[in-house]
Amino acid sequence: MTDVAREAGCSQATVSFVLNQAPGIKLSFETRQRVLEAARRLGYVVAPSAPVVAPALPGRRIGFVVDQLATSPEAMVAIDGLTQASRPLGDLVLVAQTHSDNALEAELIRSFVAQGVHALVYMTIFTREVELPPQIMSLDVPVLLLNCYTADQAIPAVVPSEIAGGQRSTRHLIEHGHRRIATITGEIWMEAAQDRLKGYRRALATADIPFDPALVIEGDWSASAGYEATRKLLALPEPPTAIFCQNDRTAIGCYEALKEAGLSIPRDMSVVGYDDEEISRHLHPRLSTSILPHRAMGQWIIEQLEGMDGAARRYPLVKLECPLVERDSVAPLKTS
């Protein structure tokens, strides 16, 4: 649906309404035709005008508990991946937000149990190790972790492969001839920031490029932090020629500081982001960035449920790749 929406010049929601022929949604004939033609051009098989018949619901009931829904799009992307994968099976996904409130979390779990859930998915917005509440550990249904994990690995868990993602982003800049590469991190207490920094350093070491701590600026994932950090980097006696922004919002601020300084992207400075948020496609130039695999993580949950047998064991932590999307913000290093 994301591909079709981009091709048709509309929102993903519009594509969903057209392809699923949602009742009560008033879309023009022209819009519907544009979506269908875009889907066909991309090679998707579009059924004729007969309505899409979903399997009888519910099959399994899957409880989904997450600490925050509104702070970032990752939770909704993961839920969408999970529901898209579970829908053909007739599953019903029940979603609840805890706001990191232990009492509310316990009550929500009790409510899910009362509704007869067949499995429980536990997600955190920030990738981290968690200590699960007793209510979860005592459940007699499968429990799976999304974007978090336990120290004993007693529960199946999936997270993004952040070290590899940071390494791939930095290597992309190295492959374009850059050797003086800066990075603007997120808050360094977060595992995502730590791991993306490890990947950055690993790529430098692999290419025999000395690590320079002056080229690492800690931010807080915000555009304003990206702006301030970029100004600091430009003020160095020897500024970088490329900047790895560890999320796309940081890259927005980076773009602003570079343009304010009269620098052209990517002619004067190459920039790479991370997360592949919608805005990355609309920056000028379009931002090269990495995809956070939350949709694939949601799909992975359903795949695991199909094969779980309830036996106690250690589950290796699954890390899904963060693919790099090459756009227009990186260019070969200028040679004088």
Q: How confident is the model at residue 50 (pLDDT cuts 50, 70, 90)?
A: very low
Highest mean pLDDT among 60-69, 83-92, 200-209: 200-209
Mind giving me the DSSP string for 279-307? GGGTSSSPPBEEB--HHHHHHHHHHHHHH
Residue 71: CB atoms within 10 A of its CB come to: 10
CATH fold of 162-291: Rossmann fold (3.40.50)
Q: Could you check whether 61-161+293-320 and 162-291 share the same CATH topology?
A: yes
Q: How confident is the model at residue 239 (pLDDT cuts 50, 70, 90)?
A: very high
- Amino acid at site 10: C
What is the rounded average pLDDT of the residues 8-35? Answer: 80
| Domain segments of the chain as ranges | 2-41, 61-161+293-320, 162-291
Q: What is the per-residue pLDDT for 58?
A: 54
Quick check: 119 and 64 in contact, CB under 8 A?
A: no
- What rounded mean pLDDT belongs to the chain? 90
Mind giving me the DSSP string for 183-209? EEES-TTSHHHHHHHHHHHHHHHHTTP
Instruction: Produce one character per residue of 296-306: b if its CB has 16 or more CB atoms within 10 Å, e if not.
Output: bbbbbbbebbe
Which pair of tokens denotes residue 208? 């025999």
What is the rounded average pLDDT of the residues 221-248? Answer: 97
CATH number of the structural domain 61-161+293-320 = 3.40.50.2300
Mind giving me the DSSP string for 217-235? EE--SSHHHHHHHHHHHHT
CA distances from 130 to 67, 148, 202 (A): 12, 7, 27
pTM of the predicted model, to two decimals? 0.82
Stronger pLDDT, 127 or 23, i.e. the higher one: 127
CA distances from 218 to 193, 197, 215, 235, 254 (A): 9, 10, 10, 16, 13
Q: Give the length of the chain.
A: 336
Question: How do 157-160 and 61-66 pair as beta strands?
Answer: unpaired
Token pair 């500024």 is at which residue?
Answer: 239
What span, in angstroms and rounded, lies between the C-alpha atoms of 25 and 18?
9
Token pair 């590469």 is at which residue?
Answer: 181
What is the rounded average pLDDT of the residues 89-116? Answer: 91
Quick check: 113 and 133 in contact, CB under 8 A?
A: no
Question: How do residues 140-183 score in pLDDT, each as one tens digit?
Answer: 899 999 999 999 998 999 999 999 999 999 999 999 999 999 99
8-state DSSP, 288: B
Asked if pLDDT for residue 256 goes beyond 50, the answer is yes
Q: Considering only CA atoms, which of 235, 211, 224, 221 is closest in space to residue 184?
A: 221
What span, in angstroms and rounded, lies between the C-alpha atoms of 207 and 237?
23
